Amino acid sequence: MCPIFRFAPSPNGALHLGHALSALINFEAAQRRQGQFLLRIEDIDTIRCTPNQVNQMTDDLRWLGLDWPEPVVQQSSRFDVYAASIDQLKQRGLLYPSIASRKEIRQAIARSEEQTGHPHPRDPDGAPLFPRHLLKEKEHANGDCAWRLDMEKAMKLVASAPLNWQENGLRSPSYPQVSAIPAQPNAWGDVILARKDCPTSYHLSVVVDDAAQKISHVVRGQDLYHATGLHRLLQQLLALPAPLYHHHRLLTDIAGQKLSKSRGDLSLKTLRAQGATPADIRTMIEFSDDDLAAFLY
Ligand code: GLU
């Protein structure tokens, strides 16, 4: 079977060196494995993701030497597909409407921390888990609200078998390794799967599209490592196949901070304007066969 890789950026800011690393690993891994490389535009946030940014992004990637089959899937044209998955989960009673505002959530957590003297549990990204037990969430019939996953109910449904994902580690002939990593979706609590202002979420649309595009290898940064546990749960609930995963190194700046679009620095656009060549970009990110080791053997 021909392996299918994808690079799936969100065009809510300029592509930076970290994106170049991820895109190059996916593109070259696909080439080495005689596979296919797809570009997918994850633009469910239709306010922050603009057509200009999509154009800049595809231009940067072509300049870097990448190509991909057209047409490119844009998530903003697939809201009806995500809505069908949301409906499926709603019909099985796995989602509940959530009307609590950010302020109400913050206040409920602060009150509870004050009363118990214990810090409220946090998800792997450091955000407080949704305090359902502290809030009186009312049924809200008109659909104008967010929908959260009932994590406890979902975990019970998948409890009959261990939930793992396959992580394709950095391999060598002497160290060929795909490891089963235990998925811990409950570390995320009752996540929002459909927002009030957007009928889906990153977590839902990414698993729906990886399955729809028959992605065999999901290769992305270490920052999404823990989210993979939640993605495995959603795949299980929606009866979607599980791809192989590989979480690659992240680039950090001199201070050890993860590079990000919001910092505005080191965007490919700026580096190009300053005269950098695609070869310079590869040198700056220290791109080498080591980055492809997971796919070479
Ligand atoms: N769209 C996500 C981002 O730009 C990446 C999604 C993924 O690779 O799973 O951070």
Task: Report which ligand 1 atom has the smallest distance to the Cα of 22.
Answer: 8
How much distance in Å is there from the Cα of 223 to the middle of ligand 1? 10
Contacts of 114 (CB under 8 A, 6+ apart): none
Question: CA–CA separation, 201 vs 283, rounded Å?
Answer: 35
Question: CA–CA separation, 153 vs 236, rounded Å?
Answer: 13
For atom 6 of ligand 1, the residue with the nearest CA is 8
Q: What is the pLDDT of residue 1?
A: 82
CA distances from 246 to 53, 165, 207, 243, 284 (A): 27, 10, 15, 10, 22
Please report, in angstroms and rounded to a whole number, the separation of the first and last CA atoms in the chain.
Answer: 16
For atom 2 of ligand 1, the residue with the nearest CA is 9
Q: What is the pLDDT of residue 136?
A: 80
Q: What is the pLDDT of residue 160?
A: 95
Question: CA–CA separation, 173 vs 281, rounded Å?
Answer: 29
Query: What value, to the nearest 5°, has the Cα angle with vertex 141 and ends 75 and 138?
Result: 105
Q: What is the pLDDT of residue 118?
A: 95
Task: Report which ligand 1 atom has the smallest distance to the Cα of 223.
Answer: 10
Which contacts of 131-138 are long-range, i.e. CB under 8 A and separated by 24 or more positions?
Answer: 131/105, 132/190, 134/108, 134/109, 135/100, 135/104, 135/105, 135/108, 137/96, 137/97, 137/98, 137/99, 137/100, 138/99
State the pTM of this model.
0.93
Phi, psi of 134 (to 5 degrees): -95, -10
How much distance in Å is there from the Cα of 42 to the middle of ligand 1? 7
Residues (pLDDT < 50) of the chain are none
Q: Among 19, 49, 202, 209, say which to mutate for ligand 1: greatest number of ligand atoms within 8 Å of CB.
A: 202
How much distance in Å is there from the Cα of 260 to the middle of ligand 1? 12
Return the closest-CA partner of residue 77 out of 255, 257, 268, 205: 205
User: Is residue 31 packed enough to be buried (19+ CB in 10 Å), middle (13-18) or exposed (0-12)?
Assistant: middle
Contacts of 289 (CB under 8 A, 6+ apart): 296
Query: Which residue shows structure tokens 């009959």?
Result: 160
How much distance in Å is there from the Cα of 186 to the middle of ligand 1? 21
The 10s digit of each residue's pLDDT in 212-246 is: 999 999 999 999 999 999 999 999 999 999 999 99
Q: What is the pLDDT of residue 293?
A: 86
Spell out which residues line ligand 1, taking CB within 6 angstroms. Answer: 8-10, 42, 206, 220, 224
